[in-house]
Every structure is written in structure tokens, then in C-alpha cells.
A and B are shown apart, each in its own frame.
Chain A
């Protein structure tokens, strides 16, 4: 009996010894569920490249744009938090903090562009996200139309109105706005927020506390609404029906001279309509001071790592590889064609990105103030401005509605 036992023990030991080395190569699965399906092809290439580096790691990549936050919440609540997921950066960093890994100090965090990691910060120096891309925000314009009309891109609101008049007279649609999309408004509004104050973060916080009012900020109360009015007047035939697709086709087919609310992400779609299109990129005309017409740089989307992931090490290895390996670093520029969210990487050969980099270097870039508010608020704000454009409420009602939503949705709860 004893003999049998010891034999069994020996077998067990041998088995264990055989299994342990095999464990190292045990297949690992990483579930990655992130928004931005426009980069699906590029991400798939990245994953394929990582398969060569770590053949035992399988990355289940899933992406969707519509309803992404809903689906993410549903999965988190069902106890199926993806290993890598996405949120907006800034305000939303805190909402998901209890699920996300703080990777301050990792090689990936070290490699990250400080402007990007600033948007991912939570509490005291914790870094709760990384980015798929950096981003620029500003207005796009058709250089050929501006040359033909013989004007420069407007840097003040008066110049903007004059430019619209001239372009209109030359037979083009001065501007296409995409006012059917709620998120276009937040992209436009942030330029005015930056111009309204030296400290947009504090201003937004004051709005959220119910202490600030549009009327006290002429840049918001007068200039912003003047800009919206001008955009409606000189813009699309059916403003509230024109969405991103409508803007792209109006701009790509050379019908419209300027685009609001969009950025580098539309360049590929626009040039697929007309590959010879010369796209200009500039800040919004927000006041009478040309110096305040600035582009905005930063990263509005954050990718997060689930801190309770069963394969946390494997996930970290992947992210570190992505941010620090030669392939990973070049991927941003060569494969995805985006602004690298890491310091010192080369810049992609895209018209908008190149001009963005030049403008940011020459004139500086404004703060990414959309991130001070949640998307819940941004959507409600978009709807309020749509109602204003549609004529069902007036300017004061619109301002009151936005102020109320700011408090209701982003203010301290309870």
C-alpha cells in the first residue's frame, strides 16, 4: 500500500514537472472591446503583429461605435468587464476608476505624450488610461476655393461673416456643419469655452456647480450664438438633417468651403471622394482677436485596462509592447495614420495632421475643454442647441436649458 502511494506521489511529481514549463506557454486570451471602428483594420494589423511576438496570446478584438457606452456598462454589470475597454478621457476617467488599472510607472506610461497622459490622470498622479491616438480639433477648409475667392481663412467673427458672404457670392456653399450630430456642438463649443476664460476647467466646474451663467460670458452668450447663427445662415440647406456623412460629401465633392465640428478623422473619407483635394486646417474664429483663433490638441478618448483582469500581466505586456516597441511606435503613423499619443514619434503624412502639428508648434494649442464635461451633458447640450436652431426655443431658453443640464448631469449628485 505504502509503495503504491509513493509511486503515485512520484508520478504526480513528474507530471507536475512536465506541466509547469508547459504552463508558461499556456494560451492566454485578452478581450479587447473598444470604440472607434474606423481604426478596425489598423488594430487588426497590430494584433496580427503581436501574434508573432507572443504566439500564445489571442486577442479577441471587438469594436462598435453606436451604443458603445451602453454595451460597456451592460458588460461590466454582468461581470464581464473586458480586459481593455474605452471611455472618454477627462471627466469620465473618474466614473470608471474602480475598474481601471493605474499604470503610472509602466514603460507605456513613460512613453506617453505628457499632453495625453494629462487627460488620463486620476487623483494624485494615477494614470488610468492610454490613447489610441492624439487628436486635433479645428475647422477644415478647401484651399482651392479660398484661393479662387482670393481670401485668407478668417480669424475673427467679422472676417468669418465677410468670408461667408464672398464665398457665397462665388457660388459655393460657405460652410457645412453636421448639425444633425449632437457631438459636433461640443467640438465647436470648446473653442469658445477656451476663449471665454483663461481657465476653462474652472469655468466648466462653475457651470456644473450652477454658479456660472452664459450671460456673464459674452464669448459664449454673444459670439458662440453668432457663430451658430452664421453657420445656419451660410450653411447646409437642411442643417438639422446634415450629419457627418453629409458634411463629408459636401466637402469632398467641392461644394462646401468650410467644415465645422470635424478633424483629422475625416481626411481619409474626404480624399476617397477627391484625392486631389487641398485641405486647410485652422482654429475657429471665436472673437475679434485673431490670436484667440487656435486649434485644440489632446486626446479625447481613453483606453483602459481592467484592473481585475485574469490576465493582467499579459495585457500589460501587450500595451507596453504597443507603446514602446519599434513596430508599435511606428504603427500610429504608418498603419493607423493617426497622431501618435507618444512622445517623439514621427508624424503621419496626412494634410490635417501636418498642419495641426505646425499650428500647435507656432501658435500653441487650446485646452481640450470637452473633457471637463461628461458626454451625457454634451449630448443634452447638443440637443438644446438643435432645438434653438430648429426654432422651438430661443437663445435665452437654450442657455437656461444648457445651464440646467450642466448642473443636473455633471453636478455633484445628491
Chain B
């Protein structure tokens, strides 16, 4: 027979749950959800972000995005996806390779890990400034010295190259973070497993691909998930390096939202784009997370 009300045990558990999560829930609510819902309201208005009185226009902004195509937003989305794809691949592959190298036992290992981590502790905008300095001043000098054509290419001024420059700088800045995550994952692999594999006659490559990589599943999931959310939101480095240029070629989705709301004075339309983008990000990350979790080897 089922009892109609909760047992005292369950009630206590529920009370604990609510009490323990209350501060977190309240703070997240205040800082993020409430402003987000308020933005949701503005997405239904026509408002230049300046005047006192937003005009309520219903879902017209969303209609603008979906029906008239909004080519700038679509381009920005495509840019963001391309950026994210390259960013995820490079940062994960390189980080994993370096993590494998840096988990070997040698005297400098710790120090070198620190060196690779260093860019991560600098703020994005400063990283942007540094690279701008290098792309403009540094490359010019390198070209003078070496005469190699690569230094003379316009790495920030050519639409295609600027894309790769941004990927490069983005990966450079955050690689250390993923290296550390992978090192942690590698160290968590019990050494007996590797020894057993060696005894079975596996060479080091086989050991890596057949034993280590599958066991790294959870690390890979975490790193891919983190690199995905971070790259989809890319903003600061673009603002510092190209400001969306040259000729609007490097607008990411967030930068396009920013431009719509603050430069074009269409705060309502910008908010609507923000909400559409949020939904896209939500769906994309959930799908990726599910796919990777399914691929993990159950431990």
C-alpha cells in the first residue's frame, strides 16, 4: 500500500536539499535568471536602448530574424560554428598530446606545465593586446630579418587569415587549462592497467589508443564540453584583435548581438537574437554531451 504523504525521513531529506541549495539558487537567480527574463521581455519590444519607453511589439523581432533572413546573424552563427569546430579540435588534440608528454617523469615537467598554463591566467583582452602587438609590430620585424613570406601576410587584415589568427590566439590562451584537465585524467588511470597491457605485449602506440584513450572518456567529455561552451561564447579576443573586421568578416554570434544592441541601437532585436542564440547553444551542448557520454567506457 502506498502512503499518501511523505515519510518524515523524506521530508527531512527534502528540507536539507532545499536548504543546502538555497544560497546557490538565489544567487544564480539574482545574477543571471532575473536579468535574463528581463531581456526576454525586451526581445518583444522595439527599443533603441536609450529612450525611456520601449514599445511592445510582440514577437516581431523573432519574425525579423527568421523570415527576412538577417544575413548578418546567419553569417555570425556560421563563423561561430566554424570557430568552435576548429577551436575544439585543436585545443583538445594539442592539449592531449602535450599532456601525454608532460606526464612523463622528468625534472622540468612541473615547470613546463606552468609555462603552458601561463597564458590562461591572463585576461582575454590582454591576450588580445599582446597578439595585436605581435601581429603588427613583431611580424614586421621578423619579415625584415628572415624575408619569409609568412610574416608578410596580413594576419589580421585578410578575412580568411584573420579567422585562423583568432583560432590560434584562442587556442594559445586556453590550451594550458585543457592540458591540466588531461593530465589529471591521465594520472587517474591506474598504473596496473598500463602494466598489464605492457605484459600482454602492447607497444606504446597500442597502449595509448587501446587502453589510455578509452579510459580517458570522462576527461574528453569534460574538455570537449568546456571547449564547446567557451568557444561558442567567444567575444573578448575578437573585440581586442579584429573588432569583427576586416569588413565584418569575423563577427561571432555574441559580437553580432552586441553590435545589434549597442551599435545599431536595436536593443529589442539584439535581445531576440540573444535568446535564439541561447537556445541554439543549449541544444548543441546537450547533443554533444549526450553523444560523448554514450561513447564513454563505463568504469
Contacts and interface: CB of A to CB of B under 8 A. Distances in A.
A–B contact (CB under 8 angstroms): yes
Interface of A: 67, 69-70, 73, 76-77, 95-96, 98, 180, 182, 237-243, 245-246, 374-376, 379-380, 383-390, 392-393, 409, 413-414
B157 A376 contact: no
B247 A240 contact: yes
A241 B241 CA distance: 10
B52 A241 contact: no
Given A69-B262, A241-B136, A376-B264, A392 B50 contact: no
B48 A95 contact: yes
B119 interface: no
Interface stretch (B20-28, B148-156, B180-188): B148-156
Contact of A390 (B50, B243, B246, B264): B246
B249 A238 contact: no
Contacts of B246: 180, 240-241, 386-387, 389-390
B259 to A, nearest CB: 8
A180 B158 CA distance: 11
Given A383-B247, A386-B245, A77 B49 contact: yes
Majority-rule SS of B interface residues = loop
B141 to A, nearest CB: 12
Contacts of B46: 413-414
B174 to A, nearest CB: 23
Contacts of B262: 67, 69-70, 73
Given A70-B262, A73-B49, A241-B136, A387 B249 contact: yes
Given A70-B262, A180-B156, A392 B247 contact: yes
A149 B280 CA distance: 60
Interface of B: 46, 48-52, 135-136, 152, 154-159, 243-249, 258, 262-265
B208 to A, nearest CB: 41
A185 B152 CA distance: 25
B157 A392 contact: no
Majority-rule SS of A interface residues = helix
A238 B48 contact: no
Contacts of A384: 247-248
Contacts of B157: 180, 238-242, 390
Given A240-B157, A409-B264, A98 B247 contact: no
A374 to B, nearest CB: 8
Contacts of A180: 156-157, 245-246
21 contacts: A70-B258, A73-B49, A95-B48, A96-B50, A180-B246, A182-B243, A182-B245, A238-B157, A240-B247, A242-B157, A245-B136, A383-B245, A386-B245, A386-B247, A387-B246, A387-B249, A390-B247, A390-B249, A392-B159, A393-B247, A409-B264
Q: Which 7 A-B pairs have the closest CB atoms?
A: A387-B247, A240-B157, A241-B157, A386-B247, A238-B154, A240-B246, A70-B262
Nearest to A388: B247
Given A182-B245, A238-B154, A379 B51 contact: no
A70 B246 CA distance: 21
A52 to B, nearest CB: 36
Contacts of A386: 245-248
Nearest to B244: A383
B265 A376 contact: yes
A387 B248 contact: yes
A387 B258 CA distance: 20
A376 B248 contact: no
A313 to B, nearest CB: 24
A98 B49 CA distance: 13
Contacts of A385: 247
